[in-house]
Amino acid sequence: MTRSLIFASLLAAASLPALADVGYPTGFRHWDHVKSMLLNKGHPLYDAVGGLHHLYANPKALAGYKAGRFADGAVIVFDLFEAVDKDNAVSEGARKAVLVMAKDSRKFRATDGWGYQVFDPKTGKGSLDAKAQADCHACHRAQKDKDFVFSAWRE
Amino acid sequence: MTRSLIFASLLAAASLPALADVGYPTGFRHWDHVKSMLLNKGHPLYDAVGGLHHLYANPKALAGYKAGRFADGAVIVFDLFEAVDKDNAVSEGARKAVLVMAKDSRKFRATDGWGYQVFDPKTGKGSLDAKAQADCHACHRAQKDKDFVFSAWRE
């Protein structure tokens, strides 16, 4: 690799680390519960996020749902559990993952202001690299009219 | 009916109205979300509370879950929705009812300190009479060791 290529690679890398910088959403269990959904086998997203999930919004995200536009600092959590289907009841099993989307229009400019991360519930560590984060946003782009958010607040 | 019997009936009634006095849990959508569960057809409670439900706790109830004992003023809400099962996903349909259990050791002394009510989500009016409220507690009595509460807080 030539020096100029190495330099180009470093530059490219330097433009990406902000994407990885979504922090673990400490305290989210006390945020507002937006809604829940169960994804069963056969759903297109089952392999990625199958099970029972709950969405939580911090105060800025709650305001964002109502305004239709999310301010910097808004964070939405997708809290995912194993679905335990037994005796005609589906209840929560072990937590599978904690998914986050966080708004920072400067840090996440390349993805319309949204950063994404998937945290391991045991270690609290994120597993998404820049490529995977961009993949998240590729799907969320379909929701451009709702500031790239799929869920909606209901009373 | 003799006068003494009428009087006895009035006295009995006078000891009951407190049971009906569980207020609508205004603002509960911003309380802590405890857990959720889906009850499908075939579940023993399906006719009564079938569908997807979420449990919410006010601050005193949250403290109660952690302490194993609930102080007066603790309120737990069971927010019940139609379960819409489509394309391998179960999502929330219309709200069916808002069920409440509220702790007041004086008012609800006859039912170990817990008052119960089921509110119509459209009118905000309760539908349970004293007999039905006592029926609620007859079942909750099985949880005496947990201060008569079935659900548990999880982080």
Interface membership of B36 toward A (CB under 8 Å): yes
Inter-residue contact B22 to B115 (CB < 8 Å): yes
Instruction: Tell me what pLDDT residue A4 has.
Output: 58
Residue B6 has pLDDT above 70, yes or no: no
Q: Flag if A92 and B43 touch (Cβ within 8 Å).
A: no
Report the C-alpha gap between B146 and B140 in whole angstroms. Answer: 10
Interface membership of B33 toward A (CB under 8 Å): yes
Residues of A in contact with B84 (CB under 8 A): none
3-state secondary structure of B84: strand
Listed in order, strand segments (DSSP E) in chain B are 32-39, 51-57, 75-86, 89-103, 114-119
Report the C-alpha gap between B101 and B104 in whole angstroms. Answer: 10
Inter-residue contact B97 to B119 (CB < 8 Å): yes
Output the CA–CA distances (angstroms, integers) from residue B2 to A15, B12, B14, B143, in the order listed: 90, 15, 18, 41
Chain B 66-105, residues with CB within 8 Å of chain A CB atoms:
87-92
3-state secondary structure of B151: coil
Average pLDDT, stretch A113-127?
Answer: 96
Instruction: Tell me what pLDDT residue A3 has.
Output: 57
Q: Which residue has the higher pLDDT, A114 or B19?
A: A114
pLDDT digits (tens, 9 = 90+) for B23-80: 999 999 999 999 999 999 999 999 999 999 999 999 999 999 999 999 999 999 999 9
pLDDT digits (tens, 9 = 90+) for A65-92: 999 999 999 999 999 999 999 999 999 9
Instruction: Tell me what pLDDT residue A17 has.
Output: 46
Q: What's the mean per-residue pLDDT of chain A?
A: 91
Report the C-alpha gap between B14 and A95 in whole angstroms. Answer: 49
Q: Flag if B38 and A41 touch (Cβ within 8 Å).
A: no
Q: What percentage of chain A carries pLDDT values higher than 70?
A: 87
Q: Would you give the DSSP letter of residue B116? A: E
Report the C-alpha gap between A38 and A51 in whole angstroms. Answer: 6
Q: Flag if B39 and A92 touch (Cβ within 8 Å).
A: no
Average pLDDT, stretch B111-137?
Answer: 95
Residue A124 has pLDDT above 60, yes or no: yes
Q: What was the ipTM of the complex prediction?
A: 0.87
Q: What percentage of chain A carries pLDDT values higher than 90?
A: 86
Output the CA–CA distances (angstroms, integers) from residue A39 to A72, B25, B106, B146, B155, in the order listed: 30, 30, 44, 32, 22
pLDDT digits (tens, 9 = 90+) for A131-152: 999 999 999 999 999 999 999 9
pLDDT digits (tens, 9 = 90+) for A1-36: 455 555 555 445 444 444 458 999 999 999 999 999
Q: Which DSSP string corresponds to A43-60?
A: STTHHHH-EEEEEEE-HH
Return all residues near B61 (Cβ < 8 A) that are at least 6 apart. Answer: B31, B70, B74, B75, B76, B103
By residue count, chain A amounts to: 155
Interface membership of B114 toward A (CB under 8 Å): no
Q: Flag if B43 and A90 touch (Cβ within 8 Å).
A: no
Instruction: Tell me what pLDDT residue B2 has.
Output: 55
Residue B3 has pLDDT above 70, yes or no: no
Instruction: Tell me what pLDDT residue A37 has.
Output: 98
Instruction: Tell me what pLDDT residue A76 has.
Output: 98
Which residue of A lies nearest to B29 if distances are taken between CA atoms?
A: A155
Q: What's the mean per-residue pLDDT of chain B?
A: 91
Residue B107 has pLDDT above 80, yes or no: yes
Q: Which of the residues B28, B32, B38, B153 would you substitute to probe the A interface, choosing the one with the greatest number of A C-beta atoms within 10 Å?
A: B38
B18 confidence band (pLDDT: 50, 70, 90): very low
Instruction: Tell me what pLDDT residue B53 has.
Output: 98
